[in-house]
Amino acid sequence: MNGLQTKKLTLKYGDQPIIENLDFDIPIEKITVLVGANGSGKSTLLRSLARLLNPTSGEIFIDTQKLQDISTKQIAKKLAILPQGPVAPEGITVHQLVKQGRYPHQKWFQQWSKEDEELVEKALIATQLLPLKDRQVDALSGGQRQRAWIAMTLAQETPIILLDEPTTYLDMTHQIELLDFLFDLNREYKRTIVMVLHDLNLACRYADNLVAIHDKKVAVQGTPEEIVTTEMVKEIFNLDALIKADPYFGTPLCIPKGKGRRVK
Amino acid sequence: MKYWTFRMLKEKVSFQITKGWMQVFSIGLLLLIAFFILSLSSGSNWISPTQVFMQLSNMTDEHAFVIETLRLPRTLLAVLVGSALGISGLILQSIVRNPLASPDIIGITSGASFGAVLFISVGTGVVSMSLLPFAAISGGLITATFIYLISWNKGVTPIRLVLIGIGISAILKAGVTFLLVFSDTYVVSKAYIWLTGSLYAATWNDVTSLFWWIMIPLPILIILGRSMNVTELGDDVAISMGIKLQWQRLVFLGCAVILAASSAAYVGGIEFVGLMAPHLARRLVGKSFLGLIPITGIIGALLVVIADLIARTMFLPLDIPAGVFTAAIGAPFFIYLLYRNRNR
């Protein structure tokens, strides 16, 4: 089986178990979104899938091979991760940043092939950053900056892309713009996308496969319309909510109860 | 920015150079050559550059002693020491991702000093002083290993490395003072000259030995250098790109230690070059680590050649340690950097 899998995966932070004995598959060429309450371990799980965190026990498989058995550079050609809130060094330009994505494909005597040049340009075009390529990353808006980092991960040319809360710090317009972009990337270029999102409604809209992490396990996994229910939201987020179909997309829409102004 | 792209051997070899880098490199090299010749000309008696050329190309033998025995090895040593210290600082600043790191601040120079002073105070009259460089290099290497091991906790983070380095450095400086207080006057005066960093009495032997020490890390830097640009984007990004982070950190730290400790071994503690040279280079040519190596080397060499030139000509017949002058420019520069980085 292709894609990412875990077998009896246990992750600890210090002595504190975060994920315990997890068996879990991520389908290829789909958008998978991890959701869960704060501190549920969804980011930790994502980081371990990208070998940024070593499992305490258990295994992770990529294309049926154990992650530990493949050289880290080989993994870098199969899987890229955009960590949460990356910081660019002072003064680096968009082009220089995106170029770094070619690192796993280069050698010390082969640093700027035709292919590198074309793929970097392709990544800049896809993220609509070509006109801004000589700008400094610090000088960009939040949305543009996030796109520059995504362009770097695109230049890495990996079939699997992991993103840790890519919409953090972005306003609503830029959140939608970014998720639309990732959606196109999946639908047009068949990239497998795995990301952590906070907003359950956006997750329902974009995810082919929604994964809810709760109590150190995958509580439930499936298409959002199958799994998102009032009971599920209560269990995972401990929140009373009403689930309706989104009037525009038909995907589940979670309306939290609680207090607020009432006009009806 | 204008780029020149080189692709050869059916794309097997390819790299890119910016026009700005080429300009800085050529101007820097020309300046270095100019000061190199000026340094050969100057001293207690002035020898005109034409005479220097004639001597170097063996067309005359008039100044053989002054130039070939006294000034040439001294100036060459200044070039080697300056570039080694500069590149060592560049490596450390890149590992630590902080422009305030340098071999003197992180404790490598202190380790080398302690090794050397211990050797001078214990070994004078017992063992040959020609072994002093080994004592200094061992001191630097042992200190760096020690700092690295204490900083280790499932990996080494830059900030732990710096803080522990500063702490160890303070202890070693206290140790040096302790040794000096309990040593003979003769030993103290000898140790003092060494501690301030002087190129006085440089020999051809020093030049060739230091040259070979510098040749050890050079190929490693050329082959692994490009990974440093990725590491500067953060640990997570570096791992994601397939860099073995802890391994890389260890190798680069080893290179920085060899460069700094071996130059300390031959000329003593010339301070602040490792801090200034990379900073100036970055101002001139930007961020690419590989591109910065030669520029930092040239700037470091320029700083030490000029410092030594001033030190040995301004106060004739006194020959003042060059380290006094690098510190005189370097210390205010350090304060300026601290001030500029105060909000970070």
Establish if A258 belongs to a structural domain. Answer: no
Q: Do B241 and A100 touch (CB under 8 A)?
A: yes
Q: Kindly compute the dihedral angle of the four CA atoms of residues B310, B312, B315, B320, in this order, to the nearest 10 degrees.
A: 100
Q: Where are the alpha helices (DSSP H) in chain A?
A: 42-49, 72-78, 94-99, 114-126, 142-155, 172-189, 200-206, 224-227, 230-237
Q: In this complex, is the C-beta atom of A113 within 8 Å of any C-beta atom belonging to chain B?
A: yes
Closest among A3, A1, A5 to A218, alpha carbons compared: A5
Q: Could you say which residues of chain A have pLDDT below 70?
A: 1
* Mean pLDDT for all residues in chain B: 85
Q: Do B242 and A76 touch (CB under 8 A)?
A: yes
| Residue B207: strand, helix, or coil | helix
What is the count of residue pairs from A and B with beta carbons less than 8 Å apart? Answer: 89
Question: How confident is the model at residue A179, as a pLDDT?
Answer: 92
Question: How confident is the model at residue B281, as a pLDDT?
Answer: 93
Establish if A207 belongs to a structural domain. Answer: yes
Strands A79-82 and A252-256: unpaired
Angle among Cα A74, A79, A84 to the nearest 5 degrees reads 130
Closest among A197, A170, A200, A195 to A185, alpha carbons compared: A195
Tell me what the mean pLDDT of segment B310-334 comes to. Answer: 82
Q: Residues 7-66, chain B: which have Cβ within 8 Å of A?
A: 7, 11-16
* Shortest CA distance from A164: residue in chain B: B236
Q: Which of A72, A83, A92 sits opposite B234 (nearest CB)?
A: A83
Strands B3-8 and A209-214: unpaired
B167 to chain A, closest Cα gap in Å: 27
Give the phi and the psi of residue B199 in degrees, each rounded to 5: -100, 10
User: pLDDT, tens digit, for every residue of B198-250?
Assistant: 777 788 888 998 999 999 999 999 889 888 988 888 889 999 999 998 889 88
Give the contacts of A169 (CB within 8 A, at least 6 positions apart): A85, A142, A146
Output the six-digit token pair for A29. Answer: 């060429």
Establish if B89 belongs to a structural domain. Answer: yes
Q: Residues 44-103, chain A: which have Cβ within 8 Å of B?
A: 47, 50-52, 71-77, 79-81, 83, 86-89, 91-93, 96-97, 100-101, 103
Look at chain A and report how many structural domains it folds into. 1
Q: Residues 139-198, chain A: which have Cβ within 8 Å of B?
A: 156
Within 8 A of A113 by CB-CB distance, chain B residues are 7, 11, 14
Which domain does A107 fall in, by range? 24-53+66-228
Which domain does B212 fall in, by range? 70-340
Higher pLDDT, B12 or B246: B246
- Size (chain B), residues: 344
Question: How confident is the model at residue B20, as a pLDDT?
Answer: 85
Q: Which of A52, A100, A109 sits opposite B233 (nearest CB)?
A: A100
Establish if A124 belongs to a structural domain. Answer: yes
Establish if B193 belongs to a structural domain. Answer: yes
Closest among A243, A52, A72, A73 to A162, alpha carbons compared: A52
| Residue A218: strand, helix, or coil | strand
Give the contacts of A148 (CB within 8 A, at least 6 positions apart): A88, A94, A97, A98, A127, A129, A137, A140
* Shortest CA distance from A157: residue in chain B: B241
Question: How confident is the model at residue A1, as a pLDDT?
Answer: 52
* Shortest CA distance from A150: residue in chain B: B237
- Range from A173-187, B1-15, B24-38, B301-315 that averages highest in pLDDT: B24-38
Question: How confident is the model at residue A92, as a pLDDT?
Answer: 87
B15 to chain A, closest Cα gap in Å: 5
Q: Do B14 and A113 touch (CB under 8 A)?
A: yes
Could you write out the three-class secondary structure of A30-41?
CEEEEEECCCCC
Question: How confident is the model at residue B25, as a pLDDT?
Answer: 93
User: pLDDT, tens digit, for every residue of B144-196?
Assistant: 888 888 887 777 777 787 888 889 988 998 998 888 888 888 878 878 777 77
- Residue A256: in which H helix or E strand, if any? strand A252-256
Establish if B286 belongs to a structural domain. Answer: yes
Look at chain B and report how many structural domains it folds into. 1
Q: What CATH number does residue B182 fall under?
A: 1.10.3470.10
Q: Which of A51, A101, A111 sits opposite B14 (nearest CB)?
A: A111
Question: How confident is the model at residue A164, as a pLDDT?
Answer: 92
B87 to chain A, closest Cα gap in Å: 19
Establish if B214 belongs to a structural domain. Answer: yes
* Shortest CA distance from B230: residue in chain A: A100
| Residue A55: strand, helix, or coil | coil
Establish if A209 belongs to a structural domain. Answer: yes
Establish if A208 belongs to a structural domain. Answer: yes
- ipTM comes to 0.88
Do A13 and A44 meet the contact criterion of CB atoms below 8 Å apart? yes
pLDDT of B311 strictly over 70: yes
User: pLDDT, tens digit, for every residue of B247-286?
Assistant: 898 899 889 989 998 888 888 878 889 988 999 998 888 8
Q: What CATH number does residue A127 fall under?
A: 3.40.50.300
Within 8 A of B222 by CB-CB distance, chain A residues are 108
B326 to chain A, closest Cα gap in Å: 27
Q: Do B239 and A72 touch (CB under 8 A)?
A: yes
pLDDT of B344 strictly over 70: no
| Residue A249: strand, helix, or coil | coil
Q: Which of A81, A88, A109 sits opposite B240 (nearest CB)?
A: A81
Establish if B34 belongs to a structural domain. Answer: no
Question: How confident is the model at residue B342, as a pLDDT?
Answer: 66
CA distances from A121 to A32, A95, A132, B6, B18 (A): 27, 9, 12, 18, 18
Strands A241-245 and A252-256: antiparallel
Strands A31-36 and A192-196: parallel
* Shortest CA distance from A104: residue in chain B: B241
- How buried is A190 (Cβ within 10 angstroms: 0-12 exposed, 13-18 middle, 19+ buried)? exposed
Question: How confident is the model at residue B1, as a pLDDT?
Answer: 55
Establish if A235 belongs to a structural domain. Answer: no
Cβ atoms within 10 Å of B53's Cβ, excluding its own: 13
User: pLDDT, tens digit, for every residue of B88-137?
Assistant: 999 988 888 777 788 887 888 889 889 988 888 887 777 777 788 888 88
